[in-house]
Structures are given as structure tokens and as C-alpha cells.
Structure 1
Amino acid sequence: MDIATVVGLLAGIFFTIYGVYSSGGVIASYINIPSIIITLGGTLASTLMSYPLKSFLNLGNVIRNAFKEKDFSPNKIIEEIINLANVARKEGLLSLEEYGEKINDDFLKKGILLIVDGTDPELVRNIMETELTFLEDRHAEGQRMLESAATFAPAFGMIGTLVGLINMLRTLSDPSTVGPQMSVALVTTYYGSILANVVFLPMANKLKIVGNKEVLVKELIIEGLLAIQAGENPRIIEEKLKTFVSPQMRKNYREQEQLRREGVI
């Protein structure tokens, strides 16, 4: 479970409710079932129209992914690649097959098997980059669905407001109904803004960041495996791969490497 997503969502809800109470509002006046149906139902309906059914049905998994803790550590991958490079240097490329069977990362395992099979380096790169491209497309589609929902939600909030205003004008002859009808009209816009800015957009941004980290790790894998296949020195491979990460990550990697050499970890 990704703590930042959970805390952020709960904090957004808390501050919204706190704002209602601190301004002298009554939370019950912000709850209106027809407004929820118009805003949420309309948002989902328009999102369904915008994407294939199969993609829309996967929206639940997309949202769940925003709450999952995923460890895409470039430093761990660099360490794994260097271990593979040392094995290949000492025992040959064929020895990587047995080592690769113990690896849980399917992308890395696939690359190792391609190398062991003696696949041409250019073909290895093409196969791996093609798979990476389709991975990026799948991630981008989920992000786009959430961004589309964030666009539709305020629009349907406004539609709900117009519905409320029409109802208000219909009963304008009765002054006692103007206040309650106006309140219902405005709360629909409130729902649309909350859905867009507290739920859909933050989740889309979280998925984009996580997706970029995963792509970076897989690019590291591709470059590392091709360097191993080319027979490059493990130290050279390490320095090459460290250029993919930020200076802070390089510093962390050096610190962890020093601790490993000292037997601390």
C-alpha cells in the first residue's frame, strides 16, 4: 500500500470537511444523492464512451495501482546487472541461464534468455524496446482515462448545477424554495471539483511518476544486458548505468556499496 496516496486522499477529504465545519456549514447540506448520480454517473458514462469497453473495465485495476507500493529501485537493478556481469565474465554467457531462472523480474529474465540463446544484439534491443513501448502505451492509457475523468467531472458538476437552477426557476414563485434549490444546484459543482482535484488528477499524476520510474528501470536493464553481451568490464558497465540516475541516487548507491564491502549489509 502506497502511504503517500492514502494519506494524501484522506488529508484532502479531511481538509475539505474541516473547511465546511470551520465556515459554519452543516455537512448534511453537502450530501445530495441526485447530485452524486449526475456527477459520478455522468463522468463514468463519458469515460466509457471515450475508451473501449475492455479498457474501461480495467479502470478499477488502474485506480488500485495508484494505491500499490511498487519498488522500482534503479540502484537494485544496477547491483543485479553488475552481479550478472561478474558471473558472465568469470563463467561465460551461458552460465547466466541458471542464474536468470532465479530472477523474479520477467523483463530481465527475458533479456537474459535472449542473450544466452545467442540472439543478435540489435535484435535483442529491438525486442526489448518493443516490449517497453507497449508497456508505456498500457500505462499511458490508464493515465489518460483518469485525466479524462478529471475533465468530465467538473463538466457534469456544471450540468447538475444547471439542472438545479432550472428546478429553482420553476418554483421561483415560492421564495422559501429558492435557498434550498440554489444549495443543491451549487453542491453538484462542488462534487465535480472534488472528484477532479482530490481523486482523479492526483491518481493520474501518481501513476505517471510510477510509470516513469518503471520505464527508467527497464531502460537500465536493456543497456546493462547489451553491455554484458558485448563483454564490457563490470566496472565500466556500472559507471555507464549510473549515468541514468540522479546524483543523489548515485551517492546512495556508493554508500550502500561501501556498507556491503564492510559487511554491514
Structure 2
Amino acid sequence: MNISTVIGIIVGIALIVLSIILSSVQPGVYVNGPGLLVVVGGTLAATLISFPMAELQQVFRMVGYVFRHEEYSIRQDVTELANAARLRMRGDFARIEDQLDRIENPFLRTAIQLVADDTPQEEIMSILNWRVRRLQEREQAQAHIFHTMAAYAPAFGMFGTLVGMVNMLYDVNGPDLMSTGHNMAVALMTTLYGLILSNLIFKPIAIKLERRTEARVMVMHMIMEGTILLAENRSPAFIRETLKSFVTQHEDELRGVRSEEDVLSRMPANLSKDGGES
């Protein structure tokens, strides 16, 4: 369970409900079925028009990742690369093939398999880069759908506001003031619903998916770096230390650290030298 997602949802809903309770004499007036129907139904309808059903089916399954805490086995991947380097230096290619069956990361398994097959480095990088681009394009497209829904929701909120305003102005000279107030409530509530759905649901989901993609791409780039070192017959210790600094640097970038001195201070001093076999 991704605790930040759960806390964010609870805090967001609590703040909205608390602000309504503290500022309203009748909190029930904030529940408006027609207004919610306009925003939710309109957003879903526009999304169905904008994207093919096959993409939408995949995207809505991705919502589960927002609530799931994914652990990336980076240390295990580094260990697998170091083990492959040790076996390659010994010329024990049969055991490398046996190791491939135990590797859970399919990207890492493909990378080591390419090296074991003596594939040229240019072709290895071309294949791995293609897989990284495919993952980025696929997952960015999925996040884009939620960004689009975040844009549609306020627009349909404004549509509901216009409908309510038209009805209110039509009845403004009539004897039924309750009808005028009801139309005014619909006009205002649809805008509120659109803003809440956009900024508390759709945008956060899109950003969460984008951050997940960044983390996955970081791991894949680390594996690509280790694959090149493996193809160059570098020692296991050198590969392990190089990848440790690589992971640290990219984690700092994901957290927004941009200080070159801070990054360099984390890098081992012996990266320029080939370490001994471990």
C-alpha cells in the first residue's frame, strides 16, 4: 500500500468536508446529483470520444498502481550483473545461461542474454534503448489520459454552471424563488465538483504515474550502464561500485537535487580504476 496516496486522499477529503461543515449552515446543500452527473458523465463521455477503448481499459487498470507501493530490486539487479561479470571472466557461459532462468527482471534478463550471445555493443544499446522508449511512450500516454480528464472536468463544471445560470435567469421573474435558488446551486456546485475531480483525483493520478515511469526508467538506465560494463569484461567489483554511484546520482535527480558537489561527494574515489574481482 502506498501510504502517501492514502494519506493524501484522506487529508484532501477531510479538508473539503471540514471546510463545508464549518462554513455552511446546511452542509447537505453541497450534495447535488444533477451537478455531479454533468461533471462525471461529461468527463467520461469526452474521454471515451478522445481515446480508443483498448487504451482506456489499460489505463484504468493502472489506477491500482497509485495505491500500490512498488519495490524495485535495484540491489538484486546489481548483484545479478556482478555475478554475470564474474562468470563471464571465468568463461563459465553455461552457468550464465542457468542464471538467466532465475532473473526476475525481464529487461535485465534480456540485457545479460544479449551479452552472453556476444551481440555487438551498438546493437545491445539499440535494442535496450528501444525498449526504454517503448515503455516511456506507453506509460506517458497512459498518464496523458488522466491529464486530459483533469482538463475536461472543470470544463464540464463550467458547462453545468452555464446551464444553471440560464435556468436561474429564466425563472428569476417567476413566483417560485426556491426554483431560482436550486438552479443557482446547480450552477455553482458543478464548478466545485469539476475543480475537486481535476485537482484531487485526475492530476494527482497522472503525476503519480509519471513519477513511477521515471523510477522505472532510472532502473533501466542503470541496467544499461551495467550491461555495457559487462560487455567490456569489467570486473564485478568495478561494476558494483559504478552502479551504486549511478543509482545514487539518479535518485538525487528524482528528488530534485541539482548540486554537483553533493553528487560528486557521494561517488566512490576509485571509479576511474578497475576494481578487483569479488
Q: Which residue of 2 aligns with 1:13?
A: 13
Match of 2:220 among 198, 218, 221: 218
Deviation by residue 1:58-114 (Cα, 9 ceiling, x = unmatched): 231122222222112544433432333233334544532111211111111111222
Instruction: Kindly tell me the number of residue pairs found equivalent between the two proteins.
Output: 254
Matched AA of 1:81: L
Deviation at 1:13, TM superposition (A): 1.0
- For the 8 Å contact 2:222–2:247, the answer to whether it is kept is no
Of 17-26 and 130-139, more deviation after overlay is shown by 17-26
Match of 2:186 among 184, 199, 214: 184
Deviation by residue 1:185-221 (Cα, 9 ceiling, x = unmatched): 1111011000001001111111111110000001111
- In 1, Cα distance between the equivalents of 2:94 and 2:111? 13
- In 2, Cα distance between the equivalents of 1:32 and 1:145? 27
Of 44-53 and 129-138, more deviation after overlay is shown by 44-53
Deviation at 1:165, TM superposition (A): 1.0
- In 2, Cα distance between the equivalents of 1:194 and 1:120? 53
Of 146-155 and 33-42, more deviation after overlay is shown by 33-42
Q: Which residue of 2 aligns with 1:106?
A: 106
Q: Which residue of 2 aligns with 1:229?
A: 231
Of 152-161 and 51-60, more deviation after overlay is shown by 51-60
- For the 8 Å contact 1:158–1:188, the answer to whether it is kept is yes
Structure with the larger RCO, 1 or 2 (CA within 8 Å, 6+ apart)? 1
Indicate the RMSD between aligned Cα atoms, in angstroms.
2.3
- In 2, Cα distance between the equivalents of 1:94 and 1:226? 20
- For the 8 Å contact 2:84–2:112, the answer to whether it is kept is no
- For the 8 Å contact 1:88–1:95, the answer to whether it is kept is no
Q: Secondary structure at the match of 2:246?
A: coil
Deviation at 1:132, TM superposition (A): 1.0
- For the 8 Å contact 1:43–1:149, the answer to whether it is kept is yes
- In 1, Cα distance between the equivalents of 2:241 and 2:127? 25
Matched AA of 1:109: R
Q: 1:1-265 counterparts in 2 under 5 A?
A: 1-72=1-72, 74-172=74-172, 173-174=174-175, 175-246=177-248
Of 236-245 and 145-154, more deviation after overlay is shown by 236-245
Instruction: Using structure 1 for the length normalisation, give the TM-score.
Output: 0.87
Deviation by residue 1:119-148 (Cα, 9 ceiling, x = unmatched): 222111111110111000111011100101
Deviation at 1:36, TM superposition (A): 1.4
Of 241-250 and 111-120, more deviation after overlay is shown by 241-250
Instruction: Using structure 2 for the length normalisation, give the TM-score.
Output: 0.83
Q: Secondary structure at the match of 2:247?
A: coil
- For the 8 Å contact 1:97–1:112, the answer to whether it is kept is no
Matched AA of 2:178: S
- For the 8 Å contact 2:245–2:267, the answer to whether it is kept is no
Unmatched 5+ residue regions in structure 1?
255-265
- For the 8 Å contact 1:94–1:116, the answer to whether it is kept is no
Q: Secondary structure at the match of 1:68?
A: coil
- Percent of aligned pairs with the same amino acid: 32
